[in-house]
């Protein structure tokens, strides 16, 4: 368990990820969970269909992903500015920190599909790869309901070759790589309210959720001051990156 800022930054640099246990209190998490549920159950209508991905062959249809939430509801920008989270992000990336992405990974009970092994950076038209994802656990995330699995140290390998997949919401998968295979893969089991930070080059994946328990997560992608947009044609939304600090 990391306990100091120095420990957090050191583990992030070494392993390419770090766990911030119970970063959000129950009182802080409740309105976030409620708003995410409004999107998942269809009562919140502000996310356009183009930014929704549904679990294949789910009856009734179950939402898998909802992208670019901060563009449609200021609430999600405010959550991205949560001081306990943003302070750690600043310690890692420097300032000013900018926000690139915000999304739900629902992993619904019984039908939540796998996420293939991949790095995040091949999806994104930016350089250098000084970007991190903060994954906020809205439910307990355990092996049984498809927790994230990180390959420790894989961020030091640079951008690795990927190929296309047939998985909606995760169109890229890592081509098998001997250096990755030689590194330890760790299941990251965390309790509701915890947050997992990972580097944009850290190889990770998750199994399907065949359990009776959901595994909802809210993620943010933060950018360092050095990051530049290299290919605007690959942007799926506006090239607007709110400065958070």
Q: Do the beta carbons of residue 177 and residue 1 sit within 8 Å?
A: no
Task: Flag whether 232 is in a domain.
Answer: no
Task: Flag whether 14 is in a domain.
Answer: no
Structure token digits, residue 29: 């998490």
Task: Flag whether 195 is in a domain.
Answer: yes
Task: Flag whether 126 is in a domain.
Answer: yes
Predicted TM-score (pTM) above 0.85: yes
Q: From the centroid of its chain, how far is CA 206?
A: 12
Q: Do the beta carbons of residue 108 and residue 214 sit within 8 Å?
A: yes
Residue 70: burial class (beta carbons within 10 Å; 0-12, 13-18, 19+):
buried
pLDDT at 5: 82
Domain span including residue 95 = 21-107+116-225
Residues of the chain below pLDDT 50? none
Structure token digits, residue 47: 């996310």
Q: Do the beta carbons of residue 125 and residue 223 sit within 8 Å?
A: no
pLDDT at 57: 84
Q: Which residue has the tokens 């906020």?
A: 136
Task: Flag whether 242 is in a domain.
Answer: no
Task: Flag whether 234 is in a domain.
Answer: no
pLDDT at 84: 96
CATH number of the domain where residue 137 is located: 2.60.120.620
Task: Flag whether 230 is in a domain.
Answer: no
Render 88-104 in DSSP notation, one character per residue: HHHHHH-SS-EEEEEEE
Q: Which residue has the tokens 């939430």?
A: 69
Task: Flag whether 43 is in a domain.
Answer: yes
- The number of distinct structural domains making up the chain is 1
């Amino acid at each position: 368990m990391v306990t100091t800022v120095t420990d957090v930054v050191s583990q992030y640099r070494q392993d390419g990820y770090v766990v911030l246990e119970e970063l959000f209190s129950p009182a802080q998490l409740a309105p976030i969970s409620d708003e995410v549920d409004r999107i998942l159950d269809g009562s919140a209508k502000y996310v356009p269909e183009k930014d929704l991905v549904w679990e294949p062959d789910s009856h009734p249809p179950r939402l898998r992903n909802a992208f670019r939430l901060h563009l449609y509801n200021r609430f999600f920008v405010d959550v991205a500015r949560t001081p306990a989270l943003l302070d750690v992000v600043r310690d890692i990336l420097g300032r000013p920190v900018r926000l690139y992405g915000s999304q739900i990974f629902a992993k619904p009970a019984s039908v939540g599909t796998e996420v293939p092994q991949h790095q995040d950076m091949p999806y994104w038209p930016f350089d250098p790869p000084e970007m991190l994802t903060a994954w906020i656990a809205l439910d307990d995330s355990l092996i049984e309901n498809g927790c994230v699995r990180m390959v420790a140290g894989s961020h030091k390998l640079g951008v690795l070759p990927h190929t296309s997949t047939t998985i909606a919401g995760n169109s890229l998968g890592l081509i098998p790589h001997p250096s990755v295979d030689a590194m330890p893969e760790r299941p990251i089991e965390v309790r509701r309210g915890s947050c997992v930070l990972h580097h944009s080059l850290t190889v990770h994946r998750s199994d399907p959720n065949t359990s009776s328990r959901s595994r909802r997560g809210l993620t943010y992608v933060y950018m360092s001051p050095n990051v530049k947009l290299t290919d605007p044609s690959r942007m799926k939304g506006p090239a607007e990156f709110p400065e958070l600090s």
